[in-house]
Amino acid sequence: MKVLILGADGYLGWATCMHFSSKGHEVTAVDNYFRRKASERLGCPPLILTPELPRRAKTWKDMGGKAIRVLPGDITDYDFLLSVFSKCRPDVVVHYAEQPSAVYSMMGRDTAAFTLMNNLVGTLNLAYAVRETGAACHIVKLGTMGEYGTPDIDIEEGWIEIAHKGRKDKFLFPRQAGSIYHTSKIQDTDLLWFFARTWGLSITDLMQGPVYGISTEEDGMYPALMPNFNYDEVFGTVLNRFIVQAVAGHPLTVYGKGGQVRGYINIKDTLQCVYLSSMRPPGPGELRVFNQVTETFTVKELAAMVKKAGEKLGYEVRIENMENPRVEQEEHYYNPKYTGLMELGLKPHYLTDDVLEGMFHMVAGYRTTINREAIFRGIKWR
Amino acid sequence: MKVLILGADGYLGWATCMHFSSKGHEVTAVDNYFRRKASERLGCPPLILTPELPRRAKTWKDMGGKAIRVLPGDITDYDFLLSVFSKCRPDVVVHYAEQPSAVYSMMGRDTAAFTLMNNLVGTLNLAYAVRETGAACHIVKLGTMGEYGTPDIDIEEGWIEIAHKGRKDKFLFPRQAGSIYHTSKIQDTDLLWFFARTWGLSITDLMQGPVYGISTEEDGMYPALMPNFNYDEVFGTVLNRFIVQAVAGHPLTVYGKGGQVRGYINIKDTLQCVYLSSMRPPGPGELRVFNQVTETFTVKELAAMVKKAGEKLGYEVRIENMENPRVEQEEHYYNPKYTGLMELGLKPHYLTDDVLEGMFHMVAGYRTTINREAIFRGIKWR
C-alpha cells in the first residue's frame, strides 16, 4: 500500500513512518519542520536531538529497513501538496501536519492565527488534493479527545443520536474545547465531515488523548530513529513532562488540584490504532470517529504514579500544586467510550509500573541534556 | 454609544451605519471593499452602482445626517484593527466583515482557503482586539441559519439541552452546513464561544436567514445611500435574484424541485434586530444566539409568489426547475424557533404582495443596467 505521512517529523510522525515501512508498505514522509524549529526558537528542544528526515530515512535503510521517500515542504502550499500527490499517489494519507500545542496556540494573537491557518488550510488542501487528483484515498486524520471538552454526559465515539420534542436525528457529538488549538481540531472535524458528505471522501478521525512514551518497537533505541520527545510546557505531553521533571529533580507541575481526568495512550498503541484504521477504511462519504485512548487517569493520579515509580528507583520526587495557568474545570464528570479500536484489533499497552520504570531509565540516560529552564514558564490562558 | 461597523460596505453594512447614525450614535465604518472588488472581478456588479464609503458618508452628512467616520482597511491585519480600536473605542462592534457567499467559497481551492482565512482570522483578531484594549465592548456577530443545516429535529435558538444515558448537559445546537462559507460560520461561532467562556467576552451571534430588500428607511432611495444589491448567482440572495430575473425576462432559477425550506428576513428587520441586540447586551462570558428570520418558505413558494406579483404587473414570468448545482436535500423537515428577537421588540415586515410589488418597481427603475450574463452560470458544489 502507498502511504503518505504528513507531519512525519513530529512526535508521532517518524515512528509511524517506520511502523508502516516495517510492514512492507511504501512510505512517503512530508514535513515542513515547523515543530522542530519552533521548539528550538522557544528554547525547548527535545530531550534527544534527532536528525532531520533524510538522515533518519538513511539510517532506517542502512539498518535493513525499506526505503522511505522524504519530501520536505509545507502542505498549506497547495501546489507543493499536489506535487506530493502526483509523486506518491497514496492509498492512505495519515494527516498529522498540524500545529499540535494548546499552549503554543494560547501564547498570543500571532500563534493563535498561525494555528488556525496552518491547521485549517492544511486540512482543506488535503481534501482538495484527494478530490482533484481523483485519488481513491482514505484520509486518517489525527483529532483529539480535547475536542469534546468535559461534558456532563457520557462521551460517545464521535456521533450521538439526539431525541428532541418527539423527533430524533444523529449528529456529531457536541464539542467545546479548552484552547485555540483544540478548537482548530473541532473545526478540522467539521471541514472533513463537510467533504465526506459533499464529495464522498472516506475519512477516519482519531480522537486521541495525551500520548506518552519515548521509544517504539522499530527505533531499536537508536537516537537517530527515536521520537522527538519534548518535555517542556509548550510541546511536551503531561506524563512525559512529569518523568523528566522527576529525573531532573524539578517538582511535578500539577495544575490546580489535579482533578482533571483525561484518557491516555502509549505511543506504541497510537501506531497500532493508525495502522489498524488504515487497513480497514470506512466507506465513501463516511466520517468514522474513534476515541483513541486506552485508560483514564486524573492528573493527580498520574503524578502519584510517577512519584511512586521514581522513589522506588531512588529519586526524590515532589509534587507541586500550582495555580492553574489554563482555564479548565478541575473537578468534572468524564466518561468517554473507547471500544471501537479494540474491536478493530488494538491490543493496549497499559501504564504499568514497568512502563513507568522503563521511561525513567530511558530519560535518565539523557539527564545531562535536560534544560531546566524549559520545563515550566507559566504561559497563561487568560 | 460608540458603534464600530466592520464590513460597512456590504449589502447590510452601509444601511446599518445609517440606522445607528440616525438614532444619534457615533458610527465608525470599516471595510476593505472585498465584496465590491470581487463582484466586479467576476463580472457581476450590483444593480445600483454605489460610491465607496467616504462618498456615502459625505452624502449622508450633506443630507442632514450625523458624521460617520470611515476607516478603510482589512481587519485580518491585526495592527490595522488595533488602530481602529484606539481611534473609536467602541461600546459595540457589529461584525459583518466576512466573505459572505456560499457560491464563492465553493468555486475552488483558492476561494475556499480565502473564505476560511478571512472569516476566521478576522473573528480571531476582533476577539483579541477587544481583550487587548480592555474594551468593555459587546460583539454583535452576523451568523447564518445555514450553520444548522436541515436537521430532523426542531431548531432551537443556538442552544439545546441533551439528555443522554440518564444524565444531561447544555450544548451549542448541533450544526452541519452546506458549503465552506457556512462551515466557516460554524467555526466562527465555536471561536466566539471559546472566547466568551475563556475571557468573559459578551457576544451576540445572529443566525440570519436569506435577506431580501433593496432599500431601507434611511436611504431615501438615493442611489448613493442604497444597499449594494447583487442579483447574480454568487453574491445575490434568492428572492432578490428572482425579482431581477423576472424583470429581466430570465426564467426564475429554481434548483431542483425547490422544496428547500429556509427562514427569510426583510433587510429593514435585519437593521432592527442588530439594533435591538446592540441595545441589550448579554452578560460577560455569555454567547447569546438568536435565529434572525421572520417567516419560512420553500424556494418554490417564493418563486410562485414572485411569478404572481410579476404577472399582476404585466411581466411574463417563467419558472425553470434546473439541475441543482448544490449538494442539499430538496425535501426535508424544517422547524426553526425564532421568538427571541420578537421578545426584544422586533416588529417584522412580512413578505406581502405589496413588498414584492415595491421591489419590482424599484428594480424596474434600473432594468437597463441588468447584466443577463451575470444571472446564472451554474457553479457546481461537486
The model's pLDDT over B53-90, given as tens digits with 9 standing for 90+, comes to 999 999 999 999 999 999 999 999 999 999 999 999 99
Contact between chains at B116 and A120 (C-beta distance less than 8 A): yes
> Which residue of the set A50, A59, A123, A144 is catalytic?
A144
List CB contacts (< 8 A) between B190 and chain A: 175-176, 183, 186-187
Best residue in B74, B171, B173 for a mutation probing chain A (most A CBs within 10 Å):
B171
- Write a three-state SS string for A24-48: CCEEEEEECCHHHHHHHHCCCCCCC
pLDDT of residue A1: 96
Q: Is the pLDDT of residue A49 over 90?
A: yes
Give the DSSP letter string of B243-270.
HHHHHHTPPEEEETT---EEEEEEHHHH
Q: Most distant CA pair in chain A: distance in Å?
A: 65
Residue of B nearest to A198 (CA): B327
Contact between chains at A164 and B183 (C-beta distance less than 8 A): no
pLDDT of residue A377: 86
pLDDT of residue A135: 75
pLDDT of residue B161: 98
Chain A 323-352, residues with CB within 8 Å of chain B CB atoms? 327, 333
List CB contacts (< 8 A) between A109 and chain B: 78, 124-125, 128, 132
pLDDT of residue B381: 83
Contact between chains at A172 and B172 (C-beta distance less than 8 A): no
ipTM: 0.97
E strand map for B79-229: 92-95, 138-144, 159-164, 167-172, 202-208, 211-212
Nearest to A1 by CA among A28, A33, A31: A28
Q: For residue range B186-195, what is the model confidence (pLDDT) as tens digits?
A: 999 999 999 9
Chain A 274-313, residues with CB within 8 Å of chain B CB atoms? none
Looking at domain A2-373, its CATH class is alpha beta
pLDDT of residue A136: 86
pLDDT of residue A381: 83
Q: For residue range A106-163, what is the model confidence (pLDDT) as tens digits?
A: 999 999 999 999 999 999 999 999 999 887 899 999 999 999 999 999 999 999 999 9
Q: Is the pLDDT of residue B382 over 80?
A: no
What does pTM read for this prediction? Answer: 0.97
**Rounded percentage of chain B residues whose pLDDT exceeds 90:** 97
List CB contacts (< 8 A) between A199 and chain B: 382
Point out the residue among A153, A167, A187 whose CB comes nearest to the CB of B167.
Answer: A153
Residue of B nearest to A381 (CA): B198
When pLDDT is cut at 50, 70 and 90, the band that residue A266 belongs to is very high
Q: Is the pLDDT of residue B211 over 80?
A: yes
Contact assessment for residue B88 and residue B130, using Cβ atoms and an 8 Å cutoff: no
Catalytic status, residue B308 = no
- Please list, residue by residue across B137-171, b when 16 or more beta carbons sit within 10 angstroms of its beta carbon and e when fewer do: bbbbbbbbbbbbbbbebbbbbbebebebeeeeeeb
Residues pairing with A5 in the sheet: A29, A94
Contact between chains at A167 and B176 (C-beta distance less than 8 A): no
pLDDT of residue B313: 98
List CB contacts (< 8 A) between A125 and chain B: 109, 113
**Rounded percentage of chain A residues whose pLDDT exceeds 90:** 97
Best residue in B173, B194, B201, B332 for a mutation probing chain A (most A CBs within 10 Å):
B194
pLDDT of residue B235: 97
Nearest to B28 by CA among B5, B55, B51: B5
Catalytic status, residue A366 = no
> DSSP code of A3?
E
Q: Is A164 on the interface with B (CB under 8 A)?
A: yes
Q: Is the pLDDT of residue A351 over 80?
A: yes
E strand map for chain B: 2-6, 26-31, 68-72, 92-95, 138-144, 159-164, 167-172, 202-208, 211-212, 252-255, 261-266, 287-292, 295-298, 319-322
Contact between chains at B194 and A171 (C-beta distance less than 8 A): no
Indicate the residue type of B333: Y
Name the minimum distance, in Å, from the CA of B349 to any CA of chain A: 30
Best residue in A79, A85, A109 for a mutation probing chain B (most B CBs within 10 Å):
A109
Mean pLDDT over residues A259-267, rounded? 97
Q: Is B151 on the interface with A (CB under 8 A)?
A: yes
Q: Is the pLDDT of residue B136 over 90?
A: no
CATH number of B2-374: 3.40.50.720
Mean pLDDT over residues B181-204, rounded? 98
**Cβ-proximal residues to A251 (8 Å cutoff; 6+ apart), any chain:** A245, A318, A319, A320
Q: Is B33 on the interface with A (CB under 8 A)?
A: no
pLDDT of residue A378: 86
List CB contacts (< 8 A) between B199 and chain A: 382
Contact between chains at A176 and B190 (C-beta distance less than 8 A): yes
Best residue in A162, A329, A381 for a mutation probing chain B (most B CBs within 10 Å):
A162
Mean pLDDT over residues B207-217, rounded? 98
List C-alpha distances in Å: B140 to A201, A351, B12, B172: 36, 48, 14, 17
Q: Is the pLDDT of residue B320 over 90?
A: yes
Tell me the helix, strand and coil percentages in chain A, rounded to 5. Answer: 40, 20, 40
Q: Hey, what's the torsion of the CAs at A28, A34, A35, A37, to 10 degrees?
A: 120
> Which residue of the set A11, A104, A148, A181 is catalytic?
A181
Q: Is A217 on the interface with B (CB under 8 A)?
A: no
Q: Nearest-5° angle of CA A310, CA A316, CA A317?
A: 65
Nearest to B128 by CA among B190, B192, B70: B192
Mean pLDDT over residues A13-31, rounded? 98
Point out the residue among B163, B167, B171 whose CB comes nearest to the CB of A174.
Answer: B171
Average pLDDT, chain B: 97
Q: For residue range B359-369, what is the model confidence (pLDDT) as tens digits?
A: 999 999 999 99
Mean pLDDT over residues A272-288, rounded? 98
Chain A 39-98, residues with CB within 8 Å of chain B CB atoms? 78
Catalytic status, residue B148 = no
Contact assessment for residue A273 and residue A289, using Cβ atoms and an 8 Å cutoff: no
d(CA A159, CA A170): 7
d(CA B82, CA B30): 12
Q: For residue range A73-82, what is the model confidence (pLDDT) as tens digits?
A: 999 999 999 9
Chain A 169-208, residues with CB within 8 Å of chain B CB atoms? 169, 171-172, 174-178, 180, 183, 186-187, 190-191, 193-194, 197-199
pLDDT of residue A7: 98
List CB contacts (< 8 A) between A105 and chain B: none
Contact assessment for residue B56 and residue B32, using Cβ atoms and an 8 Å cutoff: no
Q: Is the pLDDT of residue B222 over 80?
A: yes
**Strands lying side by side in the sheet with B295-298:** B211-212, B261-266, B295-298
List CB contacts (< 8 A) between B183 and chain A: 190-191, 194
List CB contacts (< 8 A) between B193 and chain A: 176
Mean pLDDT over residues A187-197, rounded? 98
List C-alpha distances in Å: A376 to A138, A171, A324, B205: 39, 39, 12, 37
Contact between chains at A381 and B120 (C-beta distance less than 8 A): no
Contact between chains at B169 and A152 (C-beta distance less than 8 A): yes
> Which residue of the set B50, B144, B150, B216 is catalytic?
B144
Backbone CA torsion sign across A265, A268, A270, A272: negative
Cell for A175?
464539542
> Which residue of the set B11, B96, B104, B181 is catalytic?
B181
Q: Is the pLDDT of residue A362 over 90?
A: yes
When pLDDT is cut at 50, 70 and 90, the band that residue B22 belongs to is very high
List CB contacts (< 8 A) between A164 and chain B: 153-154, 160
Contact between chains at B191 and A168 (C-beta distance less than 8 A): no
Give SS3 for B136: coil
pLDDT of residue B157: 98
pLDDT of residue B19: 98
Point out the residue among A154, A164, A178 whose CB comes nearest to the CB of B153.
Answer: A164
Name the minimum distance, in Å, from the CA of B374 to any CA of chain A: 26
When pLDDT is cut at 50, 70 and 90, the band that residue B111 belongs to is very high
**Strands lying side by side in the sheet with A295-298:** A211-212, A261-266, A295-298
Average pLDDT, chain A: 97
Q: Is A212 on the interface with B (CB under 8 A)?
A: no
